[in-house]
Amino acid sequence: MIYLDYAASTPLPKAILETMIPWFCEDFGNPSSSHYQGRKAAKAVERAREIIADKIGAYPSEIVFTSGATESNNLALKGIALARRDKGRHIITSSIEHKCILSICNYLENEGFEITYVEPNKYGEITSASISKVIRDDTIIVSISHVNNELGTTQPIREIGALCFDKGVLFHTDAAQSFCKLDINVDDMYIDLMSVSAHKCYGPKGIGALYIRDLRETKVDPVIHGAGQELGLRGGTLASPLIIGMGEAVSQSGLYIDQVAIGEVRSAFLNELGKYCSYTINGGVSVIPNILNITIQKLDIQSLMRDEELAISQGSACSSMAIDISHVLRAIGLSFEQGEKTLRISLGYGYTPQKAKAAAATLAKHIS
C-alpha cells in the first residue's frame, strides 16, 4: 500500500507501542488511586504532562488531557463561552476551520452566541487585519487553526495572537496539524488555549490535550463532568497508557518528523508528477511541507478511489464522504468541477525522494 494520508493519521511506531504495553498489563493502576500502583501510574502521567508542556513552552499545570483535538476544541470553545457569557457572546473564527470547530460554533449559535466567520483570501490565509475588522467589545474568544488541515496553509498565529492580546480577547488555536511539526511557543505566539492530538504525530489514537494559559486563573466550564480529574475540567479515569504513549511520541518526535527532509520529498513528488500532467497547487507559499493540496484537471477520480494500493484523500478525511466539495475549497474559490479533481496528499515518516517518485508514478496511472 502507498499511504499518502498522514494528515488524517500517522502510524504508531513499535518503539512507542512497547512503552505503552506495561501500563495496560502490569502497571494498570488507576492514576487517581492512592496506593502504590496508582501513585506509580500518576507519576508516569505527570512525566508525560511535563514533556508536552515543555514542547510548547508551557507549565505542566496548564495541560489538560482529553480524548483528542475534537474534545479539546469543545472544551476550549464551549468552556470559555459558557464561563464568559456574562462578559460577551461574540466569537470569531474562520469559514475554513475544521468541521469540528464549525460544528461547535453552530451549537453555540443555537445557544444564543453570535459567531463571525472571517473569509480567507484565495490562498486560504486568514490575516490579522481581517480579524481586527470584526473584533468588538463583546468578543470573548477568537479561534483560528494554526495549519489548515486541507490546504496546509500556515496562518499568522503570532500576529493574530498579539492582536487578541492587545484587545483583551482570548485566543484559541487548533494545532492538531502543527504540533511537533512546527516550532510553537505559547508565550511568544500569545496563545491562550491550544488543542493538540497524539495520533497526528505518531502517537496513539484516542488521546490529546488542551493547553490553557494560567489554568488556575482562567475560568473554563467543564464539558465532561466527573470525579474531579484534571482540576475538575475533564471527568473520567485518565487513560494512562495512552497518555504515556503521547508523551513518548512527543519526546521522540525528532526521530519521526523532519520537515526539511519532507520538503525534499514533496519536491521529488511534484517533479515526478509533472512528467505526467499539469497541476495547480492550492494554499499559496506559506504551507506546511507535509501537506500538499493539488488540483489535477485530467484526474480520473473514480478510478483513483477504486485503487486499493493508494491511500489518498479527496479533500480532508472528515469530509471524504460528502457529496459536495469541501467547504475549504469552496471558500478559496474552486468550482465543483475543480474541487472533484482536487487531492490532499500528505507525507510522513519513511518517505524518501525515491519512494515519493514511485508514489507519483502510481498516481499518474489515474490521469488521462
Which residues does the annotation mark as catalytic? Answer: 318
Grid cell at residue 66: 482529553
Neighbour-count burial of 333, counting CB atoms closer than 10 A to its CB (0-12 exposed, 13-18 middle, 19+ buried) = exposed
DSSP for 264-309, written as a single string: HHHHHHHHHHTTT---EEES-SSB-TTEEEEE-TTB-HHHHHH-TT
The answer to whether the beta carbons of residues 105 and 141 sit under 8 Å apart is: no
Three-state secondary-structure class, residue 34:
coil
Pairing between β-strand 208-212 and β-strand 193-197 as defined by DSSP bridges: antiparallel
**φ, ψ at 152 (rounded to 5°):** 80, 5
Max CA separation in the chain (angstroms): 66
Tell me the Ramachandran region of residue 321: left when phi exceeds 0, alpha when psi lies from -120 to 50, beta otherwise. Answer: alpha
Burial degree of 165 (CB within 10 A; 0-12, 13-18, 19+):
middle
Distance CA 186, CA 51 (A): 15
C-alpha to C-alpha distance for 106 and 114, rounded to whole angstroms: 10
Q: How far apart are CA 176 and CA 162, in angstroms?
A: 21
